């Protein structure tokens, strides 16, 4: 045997004891080994550090000069005062969900029956820090916030050139129809400046001044649209993770095997959302009656785009009408029933033509239309 050992072999041999120690560190605490306290004991190198964060020092928040933006720097895990004394370790540290790609919806203001709200193509946990930062940019104090419930109340403030009233706004953030989307609503309260500024107030059912509400909603939507590119690069709120991110629209199957679209929203809101989805999908609405909850449409199943484009000769022949491989579009008359079920809505698709409605023996136009509505609803 050679007397010489290469440097690589030496490194491997030296690393073997370390690998053995690391591979067996999980059982060091269970098996008493004399002299091993300095490795796996309470003060050892490989001790259990699972609950160390409970003794971490609380540092003051980072202060950003007023001339700089603070979108990306934010408190990730704000501990509410009511839970600060609950010293119980997590077995698994909470982590944010993986970021998802953005669609083309962006930030949109929707209005219906005098009500207005903002739809944002981002999860509530992503939107929450941006909304908080909006009020900081306006130099309006946040008096109360409950990220778990998606509620934020501003402090009292006075609008410019207003000598009569002082204002307060409640922000509500909840999931939208689509997964990982959010809806933002504002509720405005205005009282005389002569009245005391109470922390606990009785919020009205509707805004004291709808114009003030809409002005703030418009300004907030513009702000969120301007920083929309930072959603994926910035922080999320861990506490706002408890706001449901699953969309309000879901396709479910009944015991009889029929697919229906279930909407977790009121009838008026759902009716307007379905109408908008049909228009976005380019579906021809033949008739509609909100009183009976019925749409009648002529539906054409969307075709998948062909990967190969026709050559020059085929284009010329087709233009001259000699032959064409494209089949004429098949219209399917369909009825869409919107059923109000006391705070929840079910959408059922029925065919208006006789006989089985199938395409190529596989696709059911009713199921395809239901999926198209689900995809485009907002």
Length of the chain: 378
* 337 touches 293 (CB < 8 A): yes
Residue 161: per-residue pLDDT: 86
Residue 27: per-residue pLDDT: 46
In sequence order, which residues have a C-beta less than 8 Å from that of residue 177 and are 6 or more positions away? 247, 248, 249, 263, 265, 273, 377, 378
Residue 36: per-residue pLDDT: 56
Residue 250: per-residue pLDDT: 92
Residue 213: per-residue pLDDT: 96
305-338 pLDDT tens trace: 544 445 544 444 444 444 445 556 788 999 999 9
Nearest to 120 by CA among 213, 214, 223, 210: 223
d(CA 26, CA 47): 10
Domains of the chain, with CATH numbers? 107-242 (3.30.310.80), 249-376 (3.30.310.170)
Residues of the chain with pLDDT under 50: 1-28, 71-72, 76, 82-84, 89, 96-104, 233-234, 306-309, 312-324, 361
Sheet holding 182-192, edge to edge: 107-112, 115-120, 182-192, 165-175, 151-154, 142-146
Residue 95: per-residue pLDDT: 54
Residue 152: per-residue pLDDT: 95
Which contacts (CB < 8 Å, 24+ apart) does range 103-110 have? 103/178, 105/178, 105/181, 105/378, 106/225, 106/228, 107/221, 107/224, 107/225, 107/228, 108/221, 108/378, 109/217, 109/218, 109/221, 110/272, 110/378
* 188 touches 212 (CB < 8 A): yes
Residue 305: per-residue pLDDT: 52
Residue 313: per-residue pLDDT: 42
Nearest 10 degrees: Cα torsion 313, 314, 318, 320: 10
Sheet holding 259-263, edge to edge: 249-253, 259-263, 345-351, 332-340, 294-299, 284-289
Q: Are strands 151-154 and 142-146 parallel, antiparallel or unpaired?
A: antiparallel
């Amino acid at each position: 045997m050679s007397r010489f050992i290469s440097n690589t072999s030496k490194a491997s041999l030296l690393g073997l004891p370390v690998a053995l120690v690391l591979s067996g560190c999980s059982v060091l605490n269970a098996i008493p080994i004399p002299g091993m306290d300095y490795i796996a004991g309470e003060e050892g190198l490989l001790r259990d550090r699972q609950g160390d964060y409970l003794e971490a020092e609380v540092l003051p928040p980072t202060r950003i000069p007023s001339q700089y933006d603070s979108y990306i720097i934010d408190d990730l895990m704000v501990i509410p005062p009511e839970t600060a004394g609950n010293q119980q370790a997590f077995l698994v540290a909470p982590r944010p969900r993986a970021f998802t790609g953005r669609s083309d919806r962006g930030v949109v203001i929707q209005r219906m029956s005098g009500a207005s709200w903002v739809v944002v193509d981002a999860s509530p946990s992503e939107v929450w820090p941006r909304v908080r930062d909006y009020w900081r940019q306006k130099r309006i104090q946040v008096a109360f916030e409950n990220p778990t419930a998606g509620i934020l109340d501003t402090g009292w403030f006075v609008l410019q050139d207003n000598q009569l009233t002082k204002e307060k706004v409640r922000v509500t953030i909840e999931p939208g129809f689509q997964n990982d989307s959010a809806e933002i609503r504002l509720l405005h309260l205005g009282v005389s400046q002569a009245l005391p500024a109470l922390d606990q107030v009785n919020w009205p059912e509707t805004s004291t001044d709808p114009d003030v509400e809409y002005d703030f909603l418009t300004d907030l939507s513009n702000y969120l649209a301007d920083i929309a590119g930072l959603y994926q690069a910035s922080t999320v709120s861990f506490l706002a993770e408890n706001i449901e991110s699953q969309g309000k629209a879901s396709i479910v199957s009944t015991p009889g095997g029929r697919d229906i679209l279930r909407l977790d929203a009121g009838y008026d809101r759902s009716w307007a959302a379905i109408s908008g989805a049909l228009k976005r999908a380019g579906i021809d609405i033949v008739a509609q009656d909100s009183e009976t909850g019925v749409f009648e449409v002529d539906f054409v199943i969307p075709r998948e785009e062909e990967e190969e484009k026709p050559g020059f000769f085929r284009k010329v022949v087709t233009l001259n009408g000699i032959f064409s491989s494209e089949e004429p579009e098949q219209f399917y008359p369909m009825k869409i029933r919107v059923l109000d079920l006391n705070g929840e809505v079910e959408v059922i698709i029925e065919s208006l033509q006789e006989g089985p409605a199938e395409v190529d023996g596989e696709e059911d136009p009713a199921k395809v239309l239901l999926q198209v509505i689900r995809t485009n609803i907002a």
